[in-house]
Amino acid sequence: MATTHAAVLGSPIAHSLSPVLHRAAYAALGLTDWSYDAHDVDEASLPAFVAGLDASWAGLSLTMPLKRAIIPLLDEVSATARAVEAVNTVLFRADGSRAGTNTDVPGLVNALAERAVTRTTSAAVLGAGATAASALSALSGITKGDVEVYIRNRARDTEVHAIAEAVGTTVRIRDWSAAPEAFATELVIATTPIGATDDLAAAVPAGPGTLFDVLYHPWPTPLAAAWSARGGTVLGGLDLLVHQAVLQVELMTGLSPAPLAAMRAAGEAALAGR
């Protein structure tokens, strides 16, 4: 029986939980002829890697630093992915064409909805990278009014405003030194690298709203731990990873619904073993 291939690409990639999640989905769906691996691919080697794939490939998951680099190699890019300038999913069509989309945005929305966060009157984003762009897109359908964006490099102000305009969100950019003020909003999405928010943990007030910290290892982050200790609702990076992977599995296999519970259990087990 011929094997259908899929994989996650990025550099570095050894830490990725995507193989664990996708393989758990294949097992639950009875897709014994599907494989999912991880390949260390950087921006320079991406074109050759993609060009070398044959008709047995169904799709690719992309992580940093490839979400923008893949766009010129695609025949079709979804409106959402174009707006946030980030493709995290590539689908290979029967006619040989390559289509790119972004499951981080609906993944964020679905993860929040699972915790009954479907509307909020105020929101803040910590960070200004690719995940922050996805967060701004997700918030366009969730929050009313301006989204506060706290960034460390003010040279990115123009870029953040451009992405916000593209996704239909209005923003107020704030300096990182004022980041503790974000905790007064109903929803805070932290998209910064490991360690960037550690110093903010002491500033979490009593009875905070909802924190979505997109990191998943090590977990909990100091910020997430402080938030939970003060009675707030906390979502972590595994919530995002699982929900975006569910959508990837459905798009790549054509089967729906993907086994959310089995994928989450596999992810939790993998993290527990690290």
Q: Give yes or no on whether 4-102+244-272 and 105-235 have one common fold.
A: yes
Q: What pLDDT does 189 receive?
A: 98
Provide the residue ranges of all domains of the chain, joining segments of one domain with +: 4-102+244-272, 105-235
At which residue do the structure tokens 């519970």 appear? Answer: 261
Tell me phi and psi for residue 88, to 5 degrees: -115, 0
Q: Does residue 67 have an active-site annotation?
A: yes
Model confidence, pTM? 0.94
Give, for all 274 residues of the chain, the pLDDT tens digit: 799 999 999 999 999 999 999 999 999 999 999 999 999 999 999 999 999 999 999 999 999 999 999 999 999 999 999 999 999 999 999 999 999 999 999 999 999 999 999 999 999 999 998 899 999 999 998 998 899 999 998 888 999 999 999 999 999 999 999 999 999 999 999 999 999 999 999 999 999 999 999 999 889 999 999 999 999 999 999 999 999 999 999 999 999 999 999 999 999 999 998 8
Fold of 4-102+244-272: Rossmann fold (3.40.50)
- Alpha-carbon span 229 to 208, nearest angstrom: 10
Q: Please state, in angstroms and rounded to a whole number, the distance separating the CA atoms of residues 107 and 92.
A: 21
* 105-235 CATH: 3.40.50.720
**Active-site option among 5, 22, 67, 98:** 67
pLDDT for position 117: 96
Q: CB-based burial of residue 231 (10 Å sphere; 0-12 exposed, 13-18 middle, 19+ buried)?
A: exposed
